[in-house]
Structure 1
Amino acid sequence: MRENELKPTLGIWSALALIIGTIIGSGVFFKPASVLSEVGNTNMALAAWAAGGILTIAAGLTIAEIGTQLPYTGGLYIYMSHIYGKIWGFLSGWMQIVIYGPAIIASLSLYLAVLFVEFFGVGDEWRVPIAIFASLCVMALNMINTNYGAKAQIITTVCKLVPIVAIVIFGLLKGDEAALGQVLSHATSTTAGSFGVAILATLYAYDGWILLSNMAGELKNPQKLLPRAMTIGLFVVMGCYMLINLAIYKMLPADTIVAQGEKAAPFVAILLFGDIGGKLLNIAIIISILGCLNGKIMTFPRIVYAMAKEKDLPFAKQLAYVNPKSNTPIMAIATVMVISIIMMLFFDADYLSVICIFVIYIFYVFAFIGVFILRRRNKNGPQRSYRVPLYPITPIVAILGSVYIIWSQMVADPKGVIISIAIVLVGIPVYLLIHRKKA
């Protein structure tokens, strides 16, 4: 194997830690209030969390079949290129480099800063500097060695389960509110559009399920590890999310949850365990977000690396460089981080968390349809090591659910949708310019 290629060093525990660790981050702690405010009552809010989980599981199981056939570093970029052609692959990669990946990293860093500011009682003006500093520290860890990042992911994944288990157990036991049937005092009737926006908010919390595929080329046995880690990890995450939301509804009235907003889960921790216990639990939540941030910073630059290897980006030679001592694509990591920091300076976390999910789901729809295309192309080929369960129902659920999410966001924020699509379409002349130079 050439020195400038990433090596397969990750096993099942690293894969599970990446799946669970990159999904469970800030969303489960920061999104309960926004989901509840969209639908107006706890029953529909739980339904939105369940719908988001079912859609994510259907999506993950569907992508796993594609991933076992194309087990290469780059994930969605590789899948779109193979199924639909180079320009579609480029646009999916471009979208992840300039919008999706940096927006996720930026929003996570900003959410972490919210907790940090609250914990230490410093002014809100420190949020952005703290967010930038935290992300740069995680970036440095991932530049040193891929295995360091993977080990940090395992440790933080274990740590992040502590606040979830504590809030779930004690919240369900000690809470005296009626978890089901609570209605906001200012609630209006739930519409199809508002329910879709609520699901979109949950999908930020579920986001990260596809990121393991970005590192498929670094798994020791991707044909087996990818679907196994995807299946186990997604069911664990969905169970955690449903239980923690039930615990929060059991502890707080619906109006209080919405009033607390991003601070609802930390507020519950203080109610359950007092100031000291609440602060300790908040530290665990901060570690949880750091672990999620680590997983994102570990995986997103692999898209830059994969595109640069195919000479699909300017400065491809530099962006594809892998440090031979650390086995990390250091220039790709730095590039993603620069864009993320720019986003931290100009946008708030909530906006970033919504718009990045909308954009990625446009391409997810095409990827899910790709399962049908690949089966037709390879119907006379060798038996696949993994086939999506309940085919064709599972990919159809993933497709229809994703279309519903896209439609809901188009109704809720048409201006933001137009801007996002325009940024993606800017990739077309960029692609043509790059390939004209190559020709």
Structure 2
Amino acid sequence: MKEQKEVTLDRDLGLWSALALVIGTIIGAGVFVRQSAVLDDAGSTSMALFAWLAGGILTITAGLTIAEIASQMPETGGLYVYMERIYGKLWGFLSGWMQIIIYGPAMIASLGAYLAILLSDFFGFPSKYNAILAIGTIVLVGILNLFSNRYGATFAIITTICKLVPVAALIIFGLFFGKENAFGQSLVHVHQSAGNFGVAILATLFAFDGWILVANLGGEIKNPRKLLPQAITFGILAVLAIYLLVSYGVYRSVPAEQIHRLGTSAIPYIANQAFGQVGGKILSIGIIISIVGCMNGKIMTFPRIMYAMAKRGQLPFSKTLSYLHPKSHTPIFSTVAELLIVTVMIIFSNADRLSELCIFTVYCFYVMAFVGVFLLRKRNPNQHRVFSTPLFPITPILAIGGSLFVIVSEIMSDLPGVLTSFIFVAVGIPVFYYETKKYRESQAEAAKEESLDKEN
């Protein structure tokens, strides 16, 4: 026990590592496969570009709001820690529980499943091996994250750079060789459900999701009070610029009606037209690397929440889950536990559906965190802040409004799913009280034994 207490997380991640994790965790396959969906919902190329811009602005307001909290609470666990400090241990636990049991594993499993499809298409594997490919890839990335956090961070930087190559190719081709008008092309006459601008923004918000996960590494970032806000802010801004430029390039390259007909095949079609079959293969490799990088960011960050909760004795097997390897200084058992949950989801459930179910609860906790900025300022009016949310209170109000928009949209479109997500969260309540009681009893027993030892 004495050795374990001496082992701590390594605080050696710099700004570039944090930036790579923000960008790499956000950009998965969404920028490549959602172009047609956003265009269909928006109804025209102009409105689609505005939808990407609106989604990015709402995400930036969310990031700037959380950045103020992150600068005051630069600890491992991110949102879980913020909720605990602002609203109490139960709310903190429930936000963490939802992320480590359902949302995080489901997101990783969904990425693995989509990656397996791409790998099967690229190498010509039979689809019956997709589950094995998904699990195998996830395990390999997971093994990388059992070593020092420097390896995961380095991998994040490499994959982020690699994924920007096909992105840059699409942007350059569209800007300099595209012949279509990126503004003003309409889909109203070919798509009956076109023109739903709100749904288009909703689709882009999901494509921006993942920016907050870098906060889970607050205990491993150098000077986190300064670097966390910078990584979140500049990371989101970079992703917004990439999404807008890719969308503009796509709309310049192919007529809107053809993008609608091609659906998720629109960008592979552009690559083949622009660069031939080799270009299509290169783009496929870029998407594969993009997903692997996104997966790495999630596998690196979600186990940190489990570790932080276990350190407080709030989970079954907390002693094991809070263990840090003496050489790598990483929570190896929390990482393994998260990978086991992911594997079970891939084999026995629909991970895409599970991740969709949790969107509602994730945004409920987002709203509470955004409101928390007002509460913290009221509680500590004279506290010095290393970072303050710009244009306060407009910025957090916009962040709250964007999240409420997602919440209301989810209730209207998927009420059974919303109720199911409540069940997932509610299951954590008895777990919290049982484990908290057990932890307090064990602490009291340990204190009693220590007192007796001193007397003797």
Same fold by TM-score, threshold 0.5 exceeded?
yes
Cα distance in structure 2, aligned partners of 1:380 and 1:335: 42
Amino acid at match of 2:265: K
Which residue of the other structure, out of 186, 211, 227, is the alignment partner of 1:182? 186
Change (3 A) 1:330 1:219: same
2:322 and 2:334 in contact (8 A); partners too? yes
Cα distance in structure 2, aligned partners of 1:265 and 1:115: 14
SS at match of 1:135: helix
SS at match of 1:177: coil
**2:252 corresponding residue in structure 1:** 250
Amino acid at match of 1:287: I
**1:170 corresponding residue in structure 2:** 173
Amino acid at match of 1:370: G
**2:411 corresponding residue in structure 1:** 410
1:70 and 1:79 in contact (8 A); partners too? yes
1:201 and 1:354 in contact (8 A); partners too? no
Cα distance in structure 2, aligned partners of 1:225 and 1:133: 34
**2:448 corresponding residue in structure 1:** none
Q: 1:356 Cα deviation (Å)?
A: 3.8
Which residue of the other structure, out of 209, 212, 215, is the alignment partner of 1:213? 215
For structure 1, which segment, 245-254 or 319-328, has the greater mean C-alpha deviation from structure 2 after superposition? 245-254
Q: 1:89 Cα deviation (Å)?
A: 0.2
Cα distance in structure 2, aligned partners of 1:261 and 1:331: 41
Cα distance in structure 2, aligned partners of 1:364 and 1:373: 14
Which residues of 2 match residues 365-404 of structure 1 at below 5 A? 365-381=367-383, 383-404=384-405
2:103 and 2:355 in contact (8 A); partners too? no
Which residues of 2 match residues 118-157 of structure 1 at below 5 A? 118-157=121-160
Which residues of 2 match residues 32-47 of structure 1 at below 5 A? 32-47=35-50
Structure 1 ranges of 4+ moved more than 6 A: none
**2:15 corresponding residue in structure 1:** 12
**1:92 corresponding residue in structure 2:** 95
Which residues of 2 match residues 232-381 of structure 1 at below 5 A? 232-348=234-350, 350-352=352-354, 354-381=356-383
Determine whether 1:26 maps to 2:20: no
Change (3 A) 1:348 1:255: farther
2:187 and 2:256 in contact (8 A); partners too? yes
Amino acid at match of 2:146: M
Amino acid at match of 1:263: S
**1:62 corresponding residue in structure 2:** 65
Cα distance in structure 2, aligned partners of 1:197 and 1:355: 17
Amino acid at match of 2:69: I
Q: 1:262 Cα deviation (Å)?
A: 3.3
Q: 1:429 Cα deviation (Å)?
A: 1.7
Aligned length: 436
SS at match of 1:210: helix
SS at match of 2:385: coil
Change (3 A) 1:351 1:269: farther
Q: 1:345 Cα deviation (Å)?
A: 2.9
2:42 and 2:197 in contact (8 A); partners too? yes
Change (3 A) 1:427 1:333: same
Identity among equivalent pairs (%):
54
Which residues of 2 match residues 218-237 of structure 1 at below 5 A? 218-237=220-239
Change (3 A) 1:318 1:112: same
Cα distance in structure 2, aligned partners of 1:293 and 1:147: 16
Cα distance in structure 2, aligned partners of 1:115 and 1:266: 12
**1:82 corresponding residue in structure 2:** 85
**1:436 corresponding residue in structure 2:** 437
Cα distance in structure 1, aligned partners of 2:355 and 2:88: 29
For structure 1, which segment, 320-329 or 125-134, has the greater mean C-alpha deviation from structure 2 after superposition? 125-134
For structure 1, which segment, 43-52 or 424-433, has the greater mean C-alpha deviation from structure 2 after superposition? 43-52
Cα distance in structure 1, aligned partners of 2:320 and 2:262: 46
Q: 1:377 Cα deviation (Å)?
A: 0.8
Cα distance in structure 2, aligned partners of 1:203 and 1:113: 25
Q: Which whole-Å deviations, capped at 9, do the CAs of 1:147-197 have from their partners, x for residues lacking one? A: 111111111111111111110110232233333323155423557xx5444
1:184 and 1:254 in contact (8 A); partners too? no
1:107 and 1:352 in contact (8 A); partners too? no
1:199 and 1:405 in contact (8 A); partners too? no
Cα distance in structure 2, aligned partners of 1:185 and 1:129: 44
2:118 and 2:288 in contact (8 A); partners too? yes
Change (3 A) 1:425 1:190: farther
For structure 1, which segment, 109-118 or 7-16, has the greater mean C-alpha deviation from structure 2 after superposition? 109-118
Change (3 A) 1:378 1:414: same
Change (3 A) 1:254 1:354: farther
Cα distance in structure 2, aligned partners of 1:106 and 1:189: 31
Change (3 A) 1:335 1:402: same
Q: 1:313 Cα deviation (Å)?
A: 0.7
Amino acid at match of 1:295: G
Q: 1:422 Cα deviation (Å)?
A: 1.5
Cα distance in structure 1, aligned partners of 2:240 and 2:417: 29
RMSD of the alignment, in Å?
1.9
Which structure has the larger Rg over C-alpha atoms? 2
For structure 1, which segment, 427-436 or 384-393, has the greater mean C-alpha deviation from structure 2 after superposition? 427-436
1:93 and 1:307 in contact (8 A); partners too? yes
User: Unmatched 5+ residue regions in structure 1?
Assistant: none
1:139 and 1:337 in contact (8 A); partners too? yes
2:173 and 2:253 in contact (8 A); partners too? no
Change (3 A) 1:263 1:116: farther
